[in-house]
Amino acid sequence: MRMITTVAEMRQWSDHERRRGTRIGFVPTMGALHAGHLSLITRAKTNADVVVASIFVNPTQFGPREDFASYPRTLERDVDLLAQEGVAVVFAPPTGEMYPSGCITAVRVEGLSARLEGAIRPSHFAGVTLVVAKLFHIVQPHVAVFGRKDAQQAIILQRMVRDLDFGVELDVAPTVREADGLAMSSRNVYLSIAERKQAVVLARALQTGFRTWNEGERKSAVLRALMMNVLAEEPAARLDYLEIVSQRTLEPVAMVRSGTLVAGAIRVGKTRLIDNWWVREDGTGEF
């Protein structure tokens, strides 16, 4: 496995591979890898000849009072895991390489970036779209894999790729969960033992909604009320939002049908957790 830290060397590698006709799969990460990330690598391998993974804790997607400084950084362990997974290249640039001074260009997906997570983290998605646009230009992948846990991120990136003609195929992989249902996240390490038990309430609430939807209930108001009842069982969990929206517009919908996203965010102690379930265009659901 090759470790690359400069933009020039990464582009050179990708140019060379593309000229040889190699199909490049890409999994962008901020490191602190867990089984969810590794599932993205496995998925990328099935759809590409070689896989590049990036590790970059992107400062522009953190708000001023957020956890950029304390975000878990486990580079050595991550690199070992990626080598075991058969990744061809790890791209791990220093901050100054990705953001040399004087970088004043923005990439914004209007509207979608202001809803749900964006209403609470106003600059977050501008940071995500900026860094992913840069990574796409540098790595030049044919296909990039993202996790469904960050459903709004995936929706916004799909829109960016379409609107700016990136020519990169986006693949969105199912959420990987702990045995009790908690969605895997690099931020789960922040949870104390007591908070870890409290945190699972979000998955439990969403699962209750999903089960009831599978049993035939379609009204958003009924499903939301059921999920809110479950959330109320855990007073330590503070709700940021629980919304039932269209995946196209992220605006609320009255009925849960094809193309609906049910997304929630809570805070437990100092940790923010997000999770969701959704209904595909063919009418099947996924939690």
Q: Of 3-11, 28-36, 212-220, 265-273, which part binds ligand PAF (CB under 6 A)?
A: 28-36
Long-range CB contacts for residues 16-20, cutoff 8 Å, separation at least 24: 17/50, 18/140
The verdict on 32 binding ligand PAF (CB under 6 A) reads: no
The least distance separating ligand PAF from the CB of residue 274, rounded to whole angstroms, comes to 11
Among positions 24, 33, 88, 128, the unique one binding ligand PAF when judged by CB under 6 A:
128
142 is catalytic: no
Instruction: Give the nearer residue to ligand PAF in terms of CB position, either 244 or 274.
Output: 274
Q: Of 23-31, 42-50, 114-122, 240-248, which part binds ligand PAF (CB under 6 A)?
A: 23-31
The least distance separating ligand PAF from the CB of residue 124, rounded to whole angstroms, comes to 9
Amino acid letter at 98? M
Whole-number Å distance between alpha carbons of 159 and 207: 28
Q: Of 22-30, 200-208, 235-243, 252-260, which part binds ligand PAF (CB under 6 A)?
A: 22-30
The verdict on 139 binding ligand PAF (CB under 6 A) reads: no
The verdict on 275 binding ligand PAF (CB under 6 A) reads: no
Task: Please name the helix (run of DSSP H) or strand (run of DSSP E) that holds residue 38, with its range, or none.
Answer: helix 35-46
Candidates 172, 167, 113, 108; CA nearest to 137 is 167
Per the CB < 8 A criterion, the answer to whether 130 and 107 are in contact is yes
Among positions 7, 45, 51, 58, the unique one binding ligand PAF when judged by CB under 6 A:
58
* R_g (Cα) of the chain, nearest Å: 19
Whole-number Å distance between alpha carbons of 3 and 14: 13
Among 34, 37, 124, 137, the active-site one is 37
The sign of the dihedral angle between the CA atoms of 57, 59, 60, 64 is positive
**What DSSP assignment string belongs to 225-236?**
HHHHHHHHT-TT
Angle at which helix 201-214 crosses helix 220-232, to 10 degrees, equals 150
The verdict on 36 binding ligand PAF (CB under 6 A) reads: no
The verdict on 29 binding ligand PAF (CB under 6 A) reads: yes
The verdict on 30 binding ligand PAF (CB under 6 A) reads: yes
Instruction: Give the nearer residue to ligand PAF in terms of CB position, either 220 or 276.
Output: 276
Which neighbouring-strand residues pair with 267? 238, 272
Kindly compute the dihedral angle of the four CA atoms of residues 190, 194, 195, 201, in this order, to the nearest 10 degrees. 140
**Which residues of this chain interact with ligand PAF, rule CB under 6 A?**
28-30, 58, 61, 128, 131-132, 150, 153
List, by residue number, the catalytic residues. Answer: 37
